[in-house]
Amino acid sequence: MEVVYITIGVSIVVAILFFIAFIKSVKSGQYEDTYTPSVRMLFDDELVSEKKRKNKVNIKINNLNN
């Protein structure tokens, strides 16, 4: 069963890589805020095309007129 040197060895190496990534991510403040990211990803940052923007303005003006 010498192959366990390979499988366990490689698994440990991968686990250590994950562990280093984990420590680094904690240290660099990835997990300081565990709420904002979940909300931030909901906002689209694609620029609204000109047409749509005009529509929205028109709707607003209409609403004001009513």
Partner 1 sequence: MEKEQFYYDNKIVKMFLWATILWGIVGMLVGLTVALLFVYPGLLEFAGADNAISWLSFGRLRPLHTNAVIFAFVGNGIFLGVYYSTQRLLKARMFNDVLSRIHFWGWQAIIVAAAITLPLGFTSTKEYAELEWPIDIAVVLIWVIFGINLIGTILKRRQRHIYVAIWFYIATVVTIAVLYIFNNLELPVTAFKSYSVYAGVQDAMVQWWYGHNAVAFFLTTPILGLMYYFVPKVANRPVYSYRLSIIHFWTLIFLYIWAGPHHLLYTALPEWAQNLGTVFSVMLIFPSWGGMINGLLTLRGAWDKVREDPVLKFFVVAITGYGMATFEGPMLSFKNVNAIGHYTDWIVGHVHIGALAWNGFMIAGIVYWLATKLWKTELYSTKLANIHFWIGTLGILFYAIPLYVAGFTQAFMWKQFNPDGTLVYGNFLETVTQVIPMYAMRAIGGTLYLTGFILLAYNVIKTAKAGSTVEDELAEAMPLKKISGQRIAGEGWHTWLERRTVLFTILTTVAILIGGLVEIVPLILVKSNIPTISSVKPYTPLELEGRDIYMREGCNNCHSQMIRPFRSEVERYGEYSKAGEFVYDHPFLWGSRRTGPDVHRIGGKYNDNWHFNHMLDPRSTSPGSIMPRYSWIIKDNLNASDIEAKMRGLVKLGVPYSEEEIKNAKQSILAQAKKIENNLRQDPEFVKNYGNSNIQNKEIVALIAYLQRLGTDIKASNKTALK
Site residues (vs partner 1, CB under 8 A): 1-7, 10-11, 14-15, 17-18, 21-22, 25, 30-31, 33-42, 44-47
Tokens of 55: 């529509």
CB 31 within 8 A of CB 25: yes
CA pair distance 52, 46, nearest whole angstrom: 13
Q: What number of other Cβ atoms are within 10 A of residue 61's Cβ?
A: 10
Closer residue to partner 1 (CB): 1 or 64: 1
Compute the least distance from the CB of residue 14 to partner 1, in Å.
6
Compute the least distance from the CB of residue 62 to partner 1, in Å.
23
Closer residue to partner 1 (CB): 15 or 61: 15
